Amino acid sequence: MLMKRGKLGLPEYFWGDWVRNSRDNYLKAIFECSQITGTTRNKAISDELHIAPGSVSEAIANLVTAKLITRHIYGTVALTPYGFATATVLMRHYYLLEVWLDRMLHYPLPLIPELAWNMGDIDEDFAAQLDIYLGHPELNPFGHPIMPLKLEEPAFNRLIDVKADSTFTIVSFVESATMLNYLDKLGIPLNAALDVVQTTPLVCEAEATGKQYILDATMAQDIFVHTPICV
């Protein structure tokens, strides 16, 4: 059933109380935290959602019961095929809203992720129309594919894992105002090709076209790159 349309042809909930249910928030967090290895831990989910670890444990148990995630050995969890399919629908809708806010409203980039997510999910009919209206975008403003990859295909490596004398391309990063402001201050754009000079437990030093960049190791954990990891 199609949702009612409100002002400017948008669903009426765009103009009401924006809210996400707990299940959606957890699926998004697990999806984002497991992009590299396909699994994640309660601690990472807790950090992502800024909530107490005890609350995460209870929610994880509920998601396991709902067959959305599965527990692995050594305390990791992963999306099931059903959970991944559910999460990819949420993320596709979310990414399309981000593109709309960026292209159509020219909304400030650091504010887009939170606003797009808090708008609430849209139905598939509206998502299809939005996709056509936007010209079938392949990436959101932060480099993530609008149509996420398959469950068994981790998309990226973490910058912190790239060794010295490697060349990498920044393709995406964790979407937060802190990260966006950090990269903007450094002046590093998406798809920039940089050479790693050295990495330490505290920093990752890289350079491009004669310019040197010193990236905080904590931030480098949340920057995703395309490059074989040198071992």
The structural domains of the chain, with segments of one domain joined by +, span 12-154, 157-226
The pLDDT assigned to 96 comes to 95
In our burial notation (b when 16+ CB lie closer than 10 A, e otherwise), range 172-194 reads: bbbbeeebbebbeeeebeeebeb
Query: Which tokens is 76 given?
Result: 């990791």
* Spatial distance between the Cα atoms of 103 and 172, rounded to a whole number of angstroms: 18
In this prediction, residue 230 carries a pLDDT of 45
Q: What is the pLDDT along the chain (231 residues), one digit of tens a residue?
A: 233 333 334 444 444 444 578 899 999 999 988 887 888 999 889 988 888 888 899 999 999 999 999 998 888 999 999 999 999 999 999 999 999 999 999 999 889 999 999 887 788 999 999 999 999 999 999 888 898 766 555 557 788 888 788 888 888 888 887 888 888 888 877 777 788 888 777 888 888 777 888 888 888 888 888 765 444
| 3 state DSSP class of 108 | coil
Whole-number pLDDT of residue 1:
29
Residue 51 CA to residue 26 CA, distance in Å, equals 11
pLDDT of residue 17: 45
Fold of 157-226: SH3 type barrels. (2.30.30)
Whether pTM > 0.75 for this model: the answer is: yes
pLDDT of the residue at 95: 95
Under CATH, to which class is 12-154 assigned? mainly alpha
pLDDT at position 218: 83
90 torsion bin: left (phi>0), alpha (psi -120 to 50), beta (else): alpha
